[in-house]
Chain A
Amino acid sequence: MNMHDTEDMPPDVDYDEDEPSFSDPEDFVDDIDDEELLGDLLREKPQEADGIDSVIVVDNVPQVGPERLEKLKNVIHKIFSKFGKITNEFYPEGPDGSTKGYIFLEYGAPTQALDAVKNADGYKLDKQHTFRVNVFTDFDKYMNICDEWETPEKQPFKDFGNMRHWMEDPDCRDQYSVIYESGERTAIFNNDPKDPIVAEERARWTETYVRWSPKGTYLATFHQRGIALWGGEKFKQIQRFSHQGVSLIDFSPCERYVVTFSPLMDTKEDPQAIIIWDILTGQKKRGFHCESSAHWPIFKWSHDGKFFARMTQDTLSIYETPSMGLLDKKSLKISGIKDFSWSPGDNIIAFWVPEDKDIPARVTLMQLPSRQEIRVRNLFNVVDCKLHWQRQGDYLCVKVDRTPKGTQGVVTNFEIFRMREKQVPVDVVEMKGDPESKNAFAWEPNGSKFAVLHGESPRINASFYHVKNNGKIELIKMFDKQQANSIFWSPQGQFMVLAGLRSMNGALAFVDTSDCTMMNIAEHYMASDVEWDPTGRYVVTSVSWWSHKVDNAYWLWTFQGRLLQKNNKDRFCQLLWRPRPPTLLPLDAIKAIKKDLKKYSKIFEQKDRLSQSKASKELVDKRRSMMEDYRRYREAALLQHQEQKAARLELRGGVDTDELDSNIDDWEEETIEFFINEEIIPLGE
């Protein structure tokens, strides 16, 4: 296709001669090639059919003699014309006149050929013949594989040091990250009950906020271009993932993968909204579309990182690692699916489907990868359901809001599934009292209790239940008129904090659930967050600058509610404890330590006392030296003051005013009576 060079148009008589000429100058060389100008059109230019791309080879075709060839061709036609118009066919014949057993078919377009391969490969014609279908060009490709094996370039091993370095702190201090100065500075502290000790502090380490990986190995920071992972003793940069405009991330529980989300990068051909990365190699494993990030994380991981799943309209898609492909190559069609959740202890998914005409709503427990439904529970007149798994996966609680037949109000039940018992029996707890809209529910980690907040402010009640082995669920205790909207269990169980955050002004109640006593009631005014340390020894309450612009600080408490520290930080934003990896000690070693606890306590207490007295000695020394300096200054100042006495006397006409009692002789004594009280005593009869 040629373009004419621009020619000078014949002069237009009606045109004004002074118009500038729009022709190219004489020696102009066109330096834009056709590809640039019409690239997209050229791509669509009809190609001369060279045939190879639309040809498929079908193997395992029955070998027939000439008398049955016509019939064979009809059968093949019927099967293969589904994918497109067959323009050409070739049935090679052997020396004996029967077909060789493989044939060539040509379609009108390469896409049709691909379609045929995808769908007809593996087609069972009869017991002895299962078609194998391939594109002809593949043969070429596989034949031309280079015989020389080129060893891939060896990547130098990047030694980041001991990635678990923080776990080796001899005093077992946990670390936590603090973002302050409205995000300008991020610091990592070692938690010491006296004062936090800085481990690392950097300016502009992250652009928005930070996240720890689930076992505490990595710290993830956010940047416009992607996220970065840091770790090791010196928090060196371990890995970088480029994802423009990333706003949310999620880690797999095993720390092998990280999922990033960016609202910017999605195109139809190349789904880039959600990307799953392999952390150790830094490779992009797979990209996905995502319409909205409203319910992050979109992909939910199984506890061992073997599977991840997401829910879309009427569909549950389960993928397996490391292939990142759909389990069994297809998604599950579950009409109306509303929500799902993995068990934190086993590869079981719980999901629920609302009522559909005559079919009641139901909750289903599905085992993976078998996809066997191990339990189904029908529910009637359901308005909404929420799934709450216990930390070890021992129990599942489904909070069901229902409108019982014939009533207007909403009633809430808790359906407790006992996962460890045969056939997963379900017990129901009815919430008595006022129907509630927003309330909190939380399982005890490592235990079999749960706590519920219900009721409307100011009459909010906190109820504690125990799921007993004998099939009963017992209400242990109910505290009424609580100022609480959130429940925070200690990660080790037994202890918890009931908190009234934000609008409830930071009311705190520390509870020991072994006997349901309130250990302490306190307040951190306008607290916005509560975070337990991973060992369950300390609790941090904080007022984040993101929710409240004044008094930004984080306070450290013991698990019993004793306030240890108040740490004010200019424009404090967020504190996150560094998680600990699961313990390496076997159960009997733990039992042995618990038995010898008294011995260990003695040693630790001695250590604590020593460090405390050292601290007070340091403080005392510091004060002493400050006082000495101050005294020295005052003496010098007073000396100068004395020297100026003459000047002072002159300024005040000889009156000495240096001391209040300098002029005792001038003092007058005055007696003043003050009215104090009046008492009326009637004189008796």
Chain B
Amino acid sequence: MKPILLQGHERSITQIKYNREGDLLFTVAKDTVANVWYSVNGERLGTYNGHTGAVWCVDCDWDTKNVLTGSADNSCRLWDCETGKQLAMLNTSSAVRTCGFDFSGNIIMFSTDKQMGYQCYLNYFDLRDPQQIEDNQPYLTVPCAESKITSAVWGPLGEFVIAGHENGEINQFSAKSGEILKKVKEHSKQINDIQTSVDLTMVITASKDCSSKLFDSTTLDHIKTFKTERPVNSAAISPIMDHVVMGGGQEAMEVTTTSTRIGKFEARFFHAAYEEEFGRVKGHFGPINCVAFHPDGKSYSSGGEDGYTRIHYFDPQYFDFELEA
């Protein structure tokens, strides 16, 4: 498959996300820029300008009306998707690491880093109450004293947020009370990414301990494990096949010690039930920081440390492929 190359960032990509219908792909990077592209041909629709620091996270609501971004400039900003206009800016005391709209699109959550004497907090705002935005007063703030949150997603019905921590723990934080409903520790090192399946029943985690794990979103039961020899930066679940895709690499410092052959950094495909790797896609010039499946499962995208985002449409053989069983 010949990938579509999106060149719109000058520094490494931090997160990419499709909207619910899949026609748009949002990419954010360390260069303070947030872009949105047509996924069908890679044409750029526009840019959301305003952040003054690296943008760590991005999310789009279910109706593709609003866009949420979080940045190292200590702000979480709300944008109008179509026009690019900044609708709200919520200032924080430290960098915003992860953010997201809930299932209804009415409530947003974001977490702030443990930095400069400030703790890690998980903040909830209700967008239906403009006072909260104006006063920059979340209706709920949950402190995380022990290990900071490194990645988080909403649960299936907006009742809780599933957060991955620096120490490998996964916690469910209630969106009403902020208490921890469930917790598990299956990973031994930092959780780099958490993504949900398209029906929100499962979540997949990507960890620095070189493995990726599949959990049930409600019970946090550990269902599957996918092992590699490199730290995993991001993982995603295919909407239509029993596949997962993982992207990773090594620490930026160690990059020069592994093969410097061009395009060697690979996205790896595992069979979700057999936990076996069945394919790899080369092409990135640096570690892959984020992967995402198109909601229709016919393509996937990856954003890398090299600043490129690549959209891959699968060949027909991909859908026919089966491991002997």
Interface positions of A (Cβ within 8 A of B):
505, 525-526, 548-551, 553, 568, 616, 619-620, 623-624, 626-627, 629-631, 633, 637-638, 640-641, 644, 647-648, 651-652, 657-658, 660, 674
In the complex with contacts A525-B258, A630-B242, A637-B201, A620-B41 CB distance below 8 A = no
Interface residues of B in 41-55 (CB under 8 A from A): 41
A residues in contact with B156, CB < 8 Å? 641, 644
- Assembled-state Cα–Cα distance A141/B201 (Å): 95
Q: Is B274 a contact of A627 with CB atoms below 8 Å?
A: yes
Q: In this complex, what residue of A is CB-closest to B201?
A: A637
Q: Is A651 a contact of B274 with CB atoms below 8 Å?
A: no
A residues in contact with B199, CB < 8 Å? 638, 641, 658
- Assembled-state Cα–Cα distance A658/B257 (Å): 46
The distance from the CB of A19 to the nearest CB of chain B, in whole angstroms, is 59
The distance from the CB of A444 to the nearest CB of chain B, in whole angstroms, is 33
Interface residues of B in 269-325 (CB under 8 A from A): 272-275, 295-296, 323-325
The distance from the CB of B210 to the nearest CB of chain A, in whole angstroms, is 9
Q: Is B62 a contact of A627 with CB atoms below 8 Å?
A: no
B residues in contact with A623, CB < 8 Å? 273-274, 323-325
A residues in contact with B135, CB < 8 Å? none
Ordered nearest first, which 7 A-B pairs have the shortest CB separation? A651-B104, A630-B273, A623-B325, A637-B201, A627-B273, A525-B259, A623-B274
The number of chain B residues with a CB under 8 A from chain A is 36
Contact of B229 among A551, A633, A637, A674 (CB under 8 A): A551
- Assembled-state Cα–Cα distance A526/B258 (Å): 8
The distance from the CB of B160 to the nearest CB of chain A, in whole angstroms, is 14
B residues in contact with A647, CB < 8 Å? 157
Q: Is A549 a contact of B258 with CB atoms below 8 Å?
A: no
Q: Is A616 a contact of B324 with CB atoms below 8 Å?
A: yes
Contact of B201 among A548, A620, A640, A660 (CB under 8 A): A640
- Assembled-state Cα–Cα distance A629/B224 (Å): 11
Q: In this complex, what residue of B is CB-closest to A667?
A: B21
The distance from the CB of A430 to the nearest CB of chain B, in whole angstroms, is 39
- Assembled-state Cα–Cα distance A548/B254 (Å): 11
The distance from the CB of A565 to the nearest CB of chain B, in whole angstroms, is 14
A residues in contact with B200, CB < 8 Å? 641
Q: In this complex, what residue of B is CB-closest to A650?
A: B104
B residues in contact with A616, CB < 8 Å? 324
Q: Is A651 a contact of B103 with CB atoms below 8 Å?
A: yes
In the complex with contacts A620-B324, A652-B103, A641-B201 CB distance below 8 A = yes
- Assembled-state Cα–Cα distance A658/B201 (Å): 12
**Interface status of B178 (Cβ within 8 A of chain A):** no
- Assembled-state Cα–Cα distance A641/B259 (Å): 45
Q: Is A648 a contact of B103 with CB atoms below 8 Å?
A: yes
**Interface status of B223 (Cβ within 8 A of chain A):** yes
Contact of B295 among A553, A627, A660 (CB under 8 A): A660
Q: In this complex, what residue of A is CB-closest to B296?
A: A660
A residues in contact with B229, CB < 8 Å? 551, 553, 568
The distance from the CB of B62 to the nearest CB of chain A, in whole angstroms, is 6
Q: Is B104 a contact of A626 with CB atoms below 8 Å?
A: no
Q: Is B325 a contact of A624 with CB atoms below 8 Å?
A: yes
**Interface status of B158 (Cβ within 8 A of chain A):** yes
- Assembled-state Cα–Cα distance A660/B198 (Å): 10
In the complex with contacts A550-B250, A626-B274, A647-B157, A652-B62 CB distance below 8 A = yes
Q: In this complex, what residue of A is CB-closest to B217?
A: A637
A residues in contact with B41, CB < 8 Å? 674
Q: Is B22 a contact of A638 with CB atoms below 8 Å?
A: no
In the complex with contacts A550-B254, A648-B103, A626-B201 CB distance below 8 A = no
**B243-257 interface bits toward A, Cβ cutoff 8 Å, 1 = contact, 0 = none:** 000000010001001
Q: Is B257 a contact of A548 with CB atoms below 8 Å?
A: yes
Q: In this complex, what residue of A is CB-closest to B274?
A: A623
**Interface status of B216 (Cβ within 8 A of chain A):** yes
Interface residues of B in 214-270 (CB under 8 A from A): 216, 218, 223-224, 229, 242, 250, 254, 257-259
The distance from the CB of A195 to the nearest CB of chain B, in whole angstroms, is 14
B residues in contact with A620, CB < 8 Å? 324-325
Q: Is A644 a contact of B104 with CB atoms below 8 Å?
A: no
- Assembled-state Cα–Cα distance A647/B156 (Å): 10
Q: In this complex, what residue of A is CB-closest to B199?
A: A641
Q: Is B325 a contact of A648 with CB atoms below 8 Å?
A: no
B residues in contact with A674, CB < 8 Å? 41
**Interface status of B191 (Cβ within 8 A of chain A):** no
The distance from the CB of A617 to the nearest CB of chain B, in whole angstroms, is 11
A residues in contact with B258, CB < 8 Å? 525-526, 550-551
The distance from the CB of B86 to the nearest CB of chain A, in whole angstroms, is 25
A residues in contact with B275, CB < 8 Å? 626
Interface centre among A548, A616, A648 (most CB of B within 10 A): A648
Contact of B158 among A549, A651, A658 (CB under 8 A): A651
* Given A652-B63, A652-B105, 14 new contacts (CB under 8 A): A525-B259, A620-B324, A626-B274, A627-B325, A629-B273, A630-B224, A630-B242, A630-B272, A630-B273, A637-B201, A640-B201, A640-B218, A641-B201, A660-B295
**Interface status of B202 (Cβ within 8 A of chain A):** yes
The distance from the CB of B255 to the nearest CB of chain A, in whole angstroms, is 10
The distance from the CB of A546 to the nearest CB of chain B, in whole angstroms, is 14
**Interface status of B20 (Cβ within 8 A of chain A):** yes
Q: In this complex, what residue of B is CB-closest to A569?
A: B229
A residues in contact with B274, CB < 8 Å? 623, 626-627
Q: In this complex, what residue of B is CB-closest to A658?
A: B199
Interface residues of B in 1-60 (CB under 8 A from A): 20-22, 41
- Assembled-state Cα–Cα distance A658/B63 (Å): 13
Q: In this complex, what residue of A is CB-closest to B20?
A: A657
B residues in contact with A652, CB < 8 Å? 62-63, 103-105
Q: Is A648 a contact of B157 with CB atoms below 8 Å?
A: yes
Q: Is A633 a contact of B325 with CB atoms below 8 Å?
A: no
**B157-195 interface bits toward A, Cβ cutoff 8 Å, 1 = contact, 0 = none:** 110000000000000000000000000000000000000
Q: Is A660 a contact of B22 with CB atoms below 8 Å?
A: yes
A residues in contact with B324, CB < 8 Å? 616, 619-620, 623
A residues in contact with B216, CB < 8 Å? 633, 637
Q: Is A660 a contact of B21 with CB atoms below 8 Å?
A: yes
A residues in contact with B242, CB < 8 Å? 630
What are 23 pairs between A and B in contact, CB < 8 Å? A525-B259, A550-B254, A550-B258, A620-B324, A624-B325, A630-B224, A630-B242, A630-B272, A633-B216, A633-B223, A637-B202, A638-B199, A638-B201, A640-B201, A640-B218, A641-B199, A641-B200, A644-B157, A647-B157, A652-B104, A652-B105, A660-B22, A660-B295
The distance from the CB of B228 to the nearest CB of chain A, in whole angstroms, is 9
B residues in contact with A638, CB < 8 Å? 199, 201
- Assembled-state Cα–Cα distance A528/B273 (Å): 36
